[in-house]
Amino acid sequence: MHPLSQLLAVVALAATSLIASELLATDEGSAVLTLTSGVAPAVTTPSAPATPACSASEILDLRRWKLTLPAGDSESPTEILPDALRTASSTFFNPTDRCDGVVFRAPVTGTTTKGSSYPRSELRELGDDGSLAAWSSSSGTHAIAVMEAFTALPKGKPQLVGLQIHDGSDDVSVFRLEGTKLYVTRGDDPHYRLIDSGYQLGTAFTAAYLVQDDTIWAYYNGRAVAKMAGKFSAGYFKTGAYTQANCSNSSPCRDSNYGETVIHALRVSHD
């Protein structure tokens, strides 16, 4: 199957959750999400209720993911494995009050992982047996599609990553928002491809990657926006909120200064 056709099949699965969300309505009867002409809807991020009406695992399939939170000891942040992730909820990871998405929040004050100076509330892909996913760009076809929205950026350095391909040592490509400019990166080039010059916070979109035969395709709202050569091993996907700021370059240095995304749908495919 052609890589584009294969990816669109994954995107279609991701869209299923979003379309189902159209059935949800506010008390006034207006739709929470409206999908027309294949264009991602604009959404707002409601505050999480004190007691969530649902769990994140009822919205997203989290069986093959672990979660890293911007909390815990320095360079050893809190991690939540699949069994606990089924019912997990915190300031940094919780369902929206309408149960139409999962909020990922990483404040500039947050704990960072070893080797990074930036905080994250982020899912990391696992294998079927619960071990760390580690696939090769040279073998098989690997795809991910998310329906997400960037909903908050840190002040002073308004930069946030929402989706990543990673190898054994570094990111290979990411979807990165800087202010209103949304980029697909390539290795150490943070501005490899500008895919949206006027992104507005709260606007939901589909982001997707497909990796096959040492080639990476990136898609934005179902449209191919980048094609890159890339040979790597120990590959895996990550998604959530990886804030590209900390207290040394962003003010105020408070928990209220954060990057945030909402993920409405998430699908991964390996063939």
- Residue 29 — pLDDT band, cuts 50, 70, 90? very low
Q: Could you tell me which of 69, 241, 89 has the C-alpha nearest to residue 152?
A: 241
pLDDT mean over 163-170: 96
Domains of the chain, start order: 3-270 (2.60.120.200)
Percent of the chain with pLDDT over 70: 81
**What percent of the chain has a predicted confidence (pLDDT) above 90?**
79
pLDDT at 36 over 90: no
What pLDDT is recorded for position 74? 85
Higher pLDDT, 258 or 14: 258
Span 221-268, pLDDT tens digits:
999 999 999 999 999 999 999 999 999 999 999 999 999 999 999 999
Q: Token match 């996913």: residue?
A: 133
Q: What was the pLDDT predicted at 30?
A: 29
Find, among 152, 259, 155, 149, the residue nearest to 205 by Cα. 149
Average of pLDDT values for 68-88?
94
Looking at residue 53, what is its pLDDT? Answer: 86
**What gap in Å lies between CA 134 and CA 236, rounded to an integer?**
6
d(C-alpha 49, C-alpha 125), whole Å: 28
Sign of CA dihedral 82, 142, 163, 189: positive
Which one has a higher pLDDT value, 9 or 221? 221
